[in-house]
Amino acid sequence: MTNKVQLDEVTVRFAGDSGDGMQVTGMQFTDTTALMGNDLSTLPDFPAEIRAPAGTLYGVSGFQLHFSSYDIHTPGDSPDVLVAMNPAALKVNLDELKPGGMIIVNSDDFDEKNLKLANYKSNPLEDGSLAGYEVHALPLSKMTLEALKDLGLPVRDAERCKNFFALGLLYWIYNRKMEPTIEWLKTKFAKKPLILEANLRALKAGYHFGETTEVFTTRYEVKPAKLKPGKYRNISGNEATALGLVAASKKSGLPLFLGSYPITPASTILHQLAGYKNYGVRTFQAEDEIAGICAAIGASFAGALGVTSTSGPGVALKTEAIGLAVMVELPLVICDIQRGGPSTGLPTKTEQADLLQALYGRNSEAPVPVLAAATPGDCFYTVYEACRIALKYMTPVFFLSDGYLANGAEPWLIPNSKDLPEIKVRFRTDPNGFYPYLRDENTLARPWAIPGTPGLEHRIGGLEKQHITGNVNYEPENHELMVKLRAEKVARIAQEIPPTRIYGQPEGDLLVIGWGSTFGSILTAVERCQAEGLWVSNVHLRYLNPLPPDLGNILKRFNKILLPEMNLGQLAKVLRAEYLVPIISYSKVQGLPFTPGEIEKKIKELLKG
């Protein structure tokens, strides 16, 4: 008889070779879980090589999903369940599994060759080293082949369906429905009926194995979360970024142009936007990073919403063109989806180390507004705000995300278009009194005069402009004036930054400040500490240049300030210089996000000290 146990939350990790379909398996579990109404957060983790050598430790691909019956902010500290397709997947992930956690392994792959590749001296399924866990060693490969034996598929192709056998088993254990995945398979393999049938059989075989075997005595249920009423969809950070750009385009009435060169982890923004041609979106896959941004600047000059997407190495190549956009004062959004570096670095791993590059990585004085998203869904609102600022203040704007947000997913409440902030665009059409650098009194933005407008001909290019006339000018006093005007224009954006939200008391022993994708881990850690009665609060920054005008006063009201970052303390340097406060930097540069437990431990260490 099977027991039924109700849980508030579960963290599951799928792991195997990069060819074992762990990302597909994880995403199908995620989509099904989202449809069942749970709150969730995901962490895909995969090697940089397209097909790393099978069975090796560095070739392991993983996908972690945290789902719950209440509001959550992270993919979880440690998995409750590890599904490992081979010895390498077990070895890489075992240390992070919770004590007493469930392990489901494909025992067919625990042969001498694979054990050696994973640096095991003995078989962990036999030597007692897994005694502290609930271990289920199942011949997943053989059971999959048995389910497909009459289809006539080559053994190798049939065995590749074992990920869906494992998925079906997990669906049974956690009371998930198979129907969403069945419909996805029918669409995915509509033109390959044999492959479709094989995957359907494997999925159902895994589910019915859980139902009929006596191996699993407990089945778990996680009830739907009580989320804000409305229509939700499961969304990744890059999907949200693409939709935010489209929304800004429609709200402003401007066609959207994306000039981009493919680069991990930003490429899916280009892929996503390429499917929105019916919304007036034009995508241009350029021959290199420089061509991509220069084409976007040209589109802005012609009256479009110009956007370029990239990661850190691409930003380095775009630097001179960003300076050009600063000089000619045209709207441009630079989407930097950060990854591990320097150079090619860790293409598929996450990092926050492009902040100083975004703030200062240009020759001379070339200030650019910088905004950072906090969650996958927040990418929509943050890139939308970046577009609004770019168009209102006639300036390039950096939008910062990272690999963790780009590939991670969460339920997203679909907004109503009428609730989004207005984006008003005014092209100059009257030639009377026109000068290309005659500025708005409030924003200091210059007029947007698109080519072909009679009487509004003006110079464009990277040479210094004369104040008001826009003529090329080398006078020392004029150069200094223009440098200060461009800096003041960016500084005036601060007048629109809303009051900073403080999670917790407005003053106290410790303030944990963060930016970007550290939001969920910091907030979860702070909430845990607050529940224990500790006097700790949290502030998370979206606007990094200019900084919020009330931030300085907030910092002064706390005895200690902790700043976790996935870099070596870049924002900490900026805040120390700006506010002369002793920021305590807490760095992690491992290609992985912080866990709430890591930050919670640091908070308690500081408060105890």
- Give 437-477 pLDDT, tens digit per residue: 999 999 999 999 999 999 999 989 999 999 999 999 999 99
- Span 163-170, average pLDDT: 98
User: Is the pLDDT confidence value at 50 over 80?
Assistant: no
- pLDDT value of position 468: 97
User: Is the pLDDT confidence value at 403 over 80?
Assistant: yes
Joined tokens for residue 446? 């210059």
User: Is the pLDDT confidence value at 51 over 80?
Assistant: no
Angle, in degrees to the nearest 10, between helices 289-301 and 312-328: 30
Cβ atoms within 10 Å, residue 113:
11
- Span 201-229, average pLDDT: 94
By three-state DSSP, how is residue 387 classified? Answer: helix
By residue range, what is the domain housing residue 547?
502-608
421-436 residue pLDDT tens: 999 999 999 999 999 9
Joined tokens for residue 379? 């990418």
Shared domain for 9 and 37, answered yes or no, is yes
Shared domain for 134 and 202, answered yes or no, is yes
Q: Would strands 508-515 and 281-285 be described as parallel, antiparallel, or unpaired? A: unpaired
User: Is the pLDDT confidence value at 416 over 80?
Assistant: yes
User: Is 483 a domain residue?
Assistant: no
d(CA 68, CA 6): 11
60-117 residue pLDDT tens: 999 999 999 999 999 999 999 999 999 999 999 999 999 999 999 999 999 999 999 9
User: Is the pLDDT confidence value at 120 over 90?
Assistant: yes
Residue (of 352, 446, 437, 326) closest to 392 by Cα position: 446
The CATH number for 567's domain is: 3.40.50.920
Joined tokens for residue 48? 């940089």
pLDDT category of residue 52 using cuts at 50, 70 and 90? confident
Cis, peptide link before residue 546, omega less than 30° from 0: yes
- Which residue is it, tokens 């989320």? 227
Looking at the chain, the whole-number percentage of residues with pLDDT higher than 70 is 100
5-20 residue pLDDT tens: 999 999 999 999 988 9
Cβ atoms within 10 Å, residue 56:
19
- pLDDT value of position 131: 95
User: Is 429 a domain residue?
Assistant: no
pLDDT category of residue 390 using cuts at 50, 70 and 90? very high
- Which residue is it, tokens 């069945």? 182
pLDDT category of residue 607 using cuts at 50, 70 and 90? very high
User: Is the pLDDT confidence value at 609 over 70?
Assistant: no
User: Is 391 a domain residue?
Assistant: yes
Shared domain for 30 and 177, answered yes or no, is yes
Q: Which one of 395, 419, 443 terminates a domain?
A: 419
User: Is the pLDDT confidence value at 1 over 70?
Assistant: no
Alpha-carbon distance values, 502 to 118, 274, 370 (Å)? 47, 39, 21
Question: How many structural domains does the chain have?
Answer: 3
Q: Which one of 419, 440, 474 terminates a domain?
A: 419
pLDDT category of residue 53 using cuts at 50, 70 and 90? confident
d(CA 74, CA 83): 20
User: Is the pLDDT confidence value at 49 over 90?
Assistant: no
Alpha-carbon distance values, 204 to 29, 84, 183, 201, 586 (Å)? 14, 20, 13, 5, 47
- Span 142-149, average pLDDT: 97
pTM of the model: 0.96
- Span 157-176, average pLDDT: 97
User: How would you classify residue 607: left for phi > 0, otherwise alpha for psi between -120 and 50, otherwise beta?
Assistant: alpha
Shared domain for 212 and 255, answered yes or no, is no
Shared domain for 171 and 316, answered yes or no, is no
pLDDT category of residue 48 using cuts at 50, 70 and 90? confident
CB 591 within 8 A of CB 514: no
Shared domain for 66 and 154, answered yes or no, is yes
User: Is the pLDDT confidence value at 320 over 90?
Assistant: yes
pLDDT category of residue 329 using cuts at 50, 70 and 90? very high
- pLDDT value of position 3: 86
Shared domain for 217 and 335, answered yes or no, is no
Q: Which one of 394, 419, 444 terminates a domain?
A: 419
User: Is 201 a domain residue?
Assistant: yes
User: Is the pLDDT confidence value at 206 over 90?
Assistant: yes
User: Is the pLDDT confidence value at 124 over 80?
Assistant: yes
Shared domain for 158 and 300, answered yes or no, is no
Q: What is the mean pLDDT of the chain?
A: 96
Cβ atoms within 10 Å, residue 357:
18
- pLDDT value of position 450: 95
User: Is 480 a domain residue?
Assistant: no
- Span 151-175, average pLDDT: 96
491-542 residue pLDDT tens: 999 999 999 999 999 999 999 999 999 999 999 999 999 999 999 999 999 9
- Span 273-300, average pLDDT: 98
Shared domain for 543 and 407, answered yes or no, is no
Which residues, at least 6 apart from 173, have a Cβ–Cβ distance to it below 8 Å? 81, 210, 216, 219, 220
Shared domain for 191 and 314, answered yes or no, is no
pLDDT category of residue 214 using cuts at 50, 70 and 90? confident
User: Is 335 a domain residue?
Assistant: yes
- pLDDT value of position 148: 97
Q: What Rg value do the Cα atoms of the chain yield, rounded?
A: 26
